[in-house]
Amino acid sequence: MRYSQLLLPTLKEVPADAEVVSHILLLRAGFIRKLTAGIYSYLPMGLAAIRKVENIVREEMNRAGAQELLMPMVQPADLWVETGRYKKYGPELLRFTDRHERESCLGPTHEEVITDIARKELHSYRDLPINLYQIQTKFRDEIRPRFGLMRGREFIMKDAYSFDVSDAAAEISYRKMYDAYKRIFTRCGLDFRAVQADSGAIGGSFSHEFMVLAKTGEDTIVVCNNCEYAANMEKAAVKLRPGSAVEPLAELKRVETPGKRKVDAVCEFLGIGPEKLVKTLVFMADGKPVAVLVRGDREVEEVKLKNLLGAADVVIADDLEVFNATGVPTGYLGPVGISIRVVADQEVAAIQNFYVGGNEKNFHLQNVNLGRDFQAQAIADLRQITVADPCPECGGSLSLTEGIEVGHVFKLGTGYSQSMNATFQDSDGQEKHFVMGCYGIGVSRVVAAAIEQNHDDNGIIFPVPLAPCTVIVLNLGVKDEQLTAVAEKLYTDMLAAGLEVLIDDRDERPGLKFKDADLLGIPYRLTVGNSYTKSGRVEVRRRRDGVIEEMTPDEAVKNLYEKITAELGK
């Protein structure tokens, strides 16, 4: 590639609407351009980085025995009606009608389409196991597309689907994908962790997410300091610790709390700790209000709540919704005598004589007890785990860290094959439902995650396996015949050796060339300049640590070839 001919529009300024470093650098390095909210064009170098991820994914999927196919992006609504997801999926599913008034949608994921293929094309246990995958553009009408490639509306995903004769066989397929994912993210040069995860809208019983560890990650991961336990915070079960001694139930009292609405203010006014005050929060679950009780020092985990209620969508109610549902002004809501559904975190059921809102302005209730003063329709683990909680598996201490979800593997069971009546004939002659699994990787998100993890003040620092090219040759004397001849020979020699090379042949100042080379994050920079004229040597510089070595051009080709092939080690 020749810089002078390449569409590589680098920017000096930090683009106004970019918040996270990968978004800023992908724009500044001229890798992507925004078309509209959450929708980007991949310019040549951006596409080259994406292709690197795709190739690693493809090699490892093939190695694991999966077969590549390509399904349509436009899907008929009928298939989604069969599985019940046409209603359930929510507004992320972009629905439209074609000229014949047929309802359709843009694929956010492909369980329906692949199950339709399976029920038509796979007939016998002899056709199984099979794992089919594609690398394709997905569309999800995300409510808040943000952070560039990290959360787009249109993005590239690898999605794979396995079909097996039994649970035990499906377990093997799942394990194969789990192992393939470990290889993929290791080969990408990423610092990642596989964690237990919630299954979300895809459904199913069991899943793991692959998280790239980075401060800007939108997910919080809980890691045990003692055992192998690691989980997404959404999933991490809180182990109820034996509480303090059970107190005798005291008489319910109404206490005045003038103008005190927030937990801190109420506690300070009453001279109590937040563990004695129970918050009553209203959520709208598929549009219906539900009151959720947690201790004053705890946070509700919305995913746990969603799972408990079996709701597609759970959002915290605003003040008006709370007032319309309960008639109580903000800050004074409590569970005693309210008409909406009440569910309580398990800890609330384990304490006595607590305080709650009094359901009238300026009042709280004291000595409240679940079971005596109000009932809850469900008592469950509904709060977020904290570092003060014990590991749910071994009781050890926990740490929290942030992660970016780059991959997700699910055991689906027979949910889809049953709703779509997808069966095969087993060896005993019986018709059985396929046991399925599904496995996604956010290919475009991997590029962003790699940058979040690998950058400095000057730009991107690509791990060699993901770099759009591995060497940039800087010709600092484009008007000097000798220097140009050396640079051009280096370029062609390295191409001939199979290296991916960009030559900066622009008639620009050296300072600008150095800056752009750093910004692009190309792992090795080879400079042909004054020192060649003096000593016959060129300069090899490693982007990651700035280490510089001088050598002859022939040595440089050999040296770089060896370094790069070693770092690509498969």
Residue 440 near ligand ATP by CB under 6 A: yes
DSSP H helices in 69-131: 77-83, 85-88, 111-121
Residue 152 near ligand ATP by CB under 6 A: yes
Which amino acid appears at position 467 of this protein?
Answer: A
Question: Which is closer to ligand ATP, CB of 110 or CB of 541?
Answer: 110
Q: Which stretch binds ligand ATP (CB under 6 A): 69-77, 441-449, 510-518, 535-543?
A: 441-449
Question: Which is closer to ligand ATP, CB of 364 or CB of 445?
Answer: 445
Q: Looking at 59, 127, 141, 142, which residue binds ligand ATP (CB under 6 A)?
A: 142
Please say whether the beta carbons of 227 and 391 come within 8 A. yes
- Nearby residues of 80 by Cβ (< 8 Å), 6 or more positions away: 86, 89, 93, 105, 112
Question: Which is closer to ligand ATP, CB of 267 or CB of 404?
Answer: 404
Compose the 70-89 pattern: x for residues touching Mg ion by CB under 5 A, - for all others: --------------------
Residue 407 near ligand ATP by CB under 6 A: yes
Strand ranges inside 174-259, DSSP E? 192-196, 206-213, 219-224, 230-232, 253-256
How many whole angstroms separate alpha carbon 332 and alpha carbon 98? 51
- The counts of H helices and E strands in the chain are 16, 31
Residue 151 near ligand ATP by CB under 6 A: yes
How many whole angstroms separate alpha carbon 570 and alpha carbon 166? 33
- Nearby residues of 101 by Cβ (< 8 Å), 6 or more positions away: none
Residue 408 near Mg ion by CB under 5 A: yes
Nearest distance from C-beta of residue 508 to ligand ATP, angstroms: 35
Which amino acid appears at position 320 of this protein?
Answer: L
Query: What does 155 interact with, of Mg ion, ligand ATP, none (CB < 5 to 8 A by kind)?
Result: ligand ATP
Residue 235 near Mg ion by CB under 5 A: no
Question: Which is closer to ligand ATP, CB of 407 or CB of 523?
Answer: 407
Q: How many CB atoms lie within 10 A of CB 391?
A: 21
Q: Report the residue closest to ligand ATP, judged by CB.
A: 442
Query: What does 140 interact with, of ligand ATP, Mg ion, none (CB < 5 to 8 A by kind)?
Result: ligand ATP
Question: Which is closer to ligand ATP, CB of 93 or CB of 370?
Answer: 93
Residue 85 near ligand ATP by CB under 6 A: no
Q: Looking at 157, 291, 344, 469, which residue binds ligand ATP (CB under 6 A)?
A: 157
Query: What does 202 interact with, of Mg ion, ligand ATP, none (CB < 5 to 8 A by kind)?
Result: ligand ATP
The torsion angles phi and psi of 79, rounded to 5 degrees, stand at -65, -40
Cα distances (angstroms) measured from residue 148 to each of 31, 141, 448, 481? 11, 14, 8, 43
Question: Which is closer to ligand ATP, CB of 37 or CB of 250?
Answer: 37
- Nearby residues of 460 by Cβ (< 8 Å), 6 or more positions away: 25, 29, 451, 454, 519, 520, 521
Which amino acid appears at position 115 of this protein?
Answer: T
Residue 437 near ligand ATP by CB under 6 A: no
Residues that bind ligand ATP (CB under 6 A): 109, 140, 142, 151-152, 155, 157, 200, 202, 405-408, 440, 442, 444-445
